[in-house]
Chains A and B, each alone.
Chain A
């Protein structure tokens, strides 16, 4: 719930920076390692926007998979079943590359 509240704070702050037009759509990018359950977030957002100026706002939530980068062959690969070894060359020498995002990725606004 507090993450959903932070999302709305971010939407309002960015909308103000963009001239204050009414926000019609907002994009979120939520990583597999962010600790956020997308369905719960969606539910909390719906609860929080009800009866506010953002009541009609539609959220598009993009899932960002857990990825690692191989230090050997530089491939970036998706981690499945928590296996950290490179899926291209098999090397175990890999580093975190993505999946902890929790970002506002776009806003669609009416002209102010």
Chain B
């Protein structure tokens, strides 16, 4: 007996993600999923972002890593609630991990929830976390061709953040080519250029976030 189907392989993940998304929307929480290779600056960008927020802002971070709570400790210094998700080997966050780490947290009162994914440009792509927007970071010490090498990740992103632009004088990185490659894979992608070291471009990043609130 042959049974034709159209069942999504990750339908259980998608179901939980849809529940999370409804919850975020109901409470007016802007949830952002941050994806990049290891070392592109996700944690640094969040550090600069949290450092710039007024203490009264209702902002929280879930940060994923395979091992250690180093990132959570880095981020906790800014006074906002931060939780580490140690995936224990998994190379991505999934919706169930997010759901589980939101229990007994004042999540329904949040304006912004940042989800810092595990550093990996492949696996996080497949997992909807219930986010409203997805940002992928690419630093200028990497190759401009990453959007072409990892099209799935860039195709599913709303925003590309080009980070470490303070290093441009020292590395053979073409901003033009990086932008062009990203737009080939995702013609509608928004692009921002920042340096978490010098602070250049962070105002536009903050504006981008505020626009989504």
Chain A interface (Cβ < 8 Å from any Cβ of B): 2-3, 6-7, 9-10, 14, 18, 21, 27-28, 32-36, 66, 82-84, 92, 94, 96, 99-100, 102-111
Contact = CB atoms under 8 A, between A and B. Distances in A.
B123 A35 contact: yes
Given A35-B126, A36-B126, A100-B155, A6 B5 contact: no
A28 B9 CA distance: 9
Given A35-B125, A83-B184, A92-B187, A10 B7 contact: yes
Interface stretch (B23-31, B74-82, B146-154): B146-154
Contact of A34 (B152, B183, B184): B152
Contacts, number: 91
Contacts of A27: 5
Contacts of A103: 5-9
B10 A107 contact: no
B4 to A, nearest CB: 5
- The 8 A-B residue pairs with the shortest CB-CB distance, nearest first, are A35-B125, A35-B152, A104-B7, A82-B184, A33-B152, A102-B9, A35-B126, A107-B3
Contacts of A14: 3, 5, 7
A96 B152 CA distance: 12
B2 A108 contact: yes
Contacts of B13: 6
Contacts of B151: 32-33, 66, 82
Contacts of B3: 14, 18, 106-109
A106 B152 contact: no
Contacts of A107: 2-3, 5
Nearest to A1: B90
A110 B179 CA distance: 53
B11 interface: yes
B181 A82 contact: yes
A100 B151 CA distance: 11
A32 B7 CA distance: 18
A9 B5 CA distance: 15
Contacts of B153: 35
A72 B20 CA distance: 36
Contacts of B11: 10
A96 B6 CA distance: 19
